[in-house]
Amino acid sequence: MELLKQAYLLLRKDLRLELRRRDSLLTMFFFGTLLLFVFHFSFDVAPDKMAEMAPALLWLAFLFTGTLGLAQLFQSERENHCLDALLLSPLDRGALFLAKSGFNLLLMTAVELVVMPLFWILFNLSSWNLLPQLFLVTLLGTVGFCVLGTIMSAITLRARARELLLPLVLFPLMVPVLLATIRCMETILRTGSFGDGAPWLRLLLGFDVIFLTLGVLLFDWVIEG
């Protein structure tokens, strides 16, 4: 309970800072939208191929946009050595992990809520009724991205070329999440239900639970390493 209280305290502080500066959210939003327009003008996808292409294109946009957010994740802690202030305090490091993952999840979800409908409009898709199911799968994928991304962001925090290093260490580890999310979304777009995508959904859930637990337990070691 104390862990959640501390995580809420940190999350509230991060949200307040973001609302004042708005640099992460605006950057992510504009970059995500920009990528959609680039895809729109670059690909001429046949309507029958859309079920295969749409999830991959969407997640390509989310992956790059999310990485931008992750690169900024500890920005407020880097200023004035505030990370030291947090590490000095009686704060549970697991709470810091939960707060940072939650913060990035909120930012990415906000971007996804805009980018997904925009994608449907730009690519002239008719399956609007499937958006809630697709969004649910995207949310599970985003949780996986955020928990793993927060761990990697903390690992590369003190590295000199951390902006370059972060995608290099994160993207290979993201393969199971990407595969499971894209396959699951593809099944929904083809069949209109989860159907064959259930094993991918279980993989996604398993990934989220495992890395969320690992993050809470190991963040102490990760952030001080």
Partner 1 sequence: MRLTVNKLAKAYGFLWALKDLDLDLPPGSFLALLGPNGAGKTTLLKLLAGLVTPTAGTIELDGKPSNGNDPGWRAQIGFLAPADHLYENLTVEENLRFFSALYKRNGSASAIGQALEAIGLAPRAGELVSNLSSGMKCRLSIAKWQLLQPGLLLLDEPYGVLDGKGVDLLESFLQAHSAHGNLVVMASHHVSRALKLCNRAVILHQGRLSFDEAKQQPWPSFARAFGDFLPQGESWSS
Binding positions for partner 1, rule: CB under 8 A: 6, 9, 13, 16-17, 20-21, 76, 79-82, 84-92, 220, 224
CB of 221 vs partner 1, minimal distance in Å: 9
Burial grade of 67 (CB within 10 A; 0-12, 13-18, 19 or more)? buried
CB 178 within 8 A of CB 141: yes
66: enclosing H helix or E strand: helix 50-71
Supply 69's token pair: 């957010």
User: Is the Cβ of residue 15 or residue 165 nearer to partner 1 in the bound state?
Assistant: 15
User: Is the Cβ of residue 13 or residue 40 nearer to partner 1 in the bound state?
Assistant: 13
CB of 12 vs partner 1, minimal distance in Å: 9
User: Is the Cβ of residue 10 or residue 182 nearer to partner 1 in the bound state?
Assistant: 10
Amino acid residing at 77: E
User: Is the Cβ of residue 6 or residue 101 nearer to partner 1 in the bound state?
Assistant: 6
CB of 58 vs partner 1, minimal distance in Å: 32
Amino acid residing at 78: R
Amino acid residing at 16: R
CB of 19 vs partner 1, minimal distance in Å: 10
Residue 22: how many CB atoms within 10 A of its CB? 11
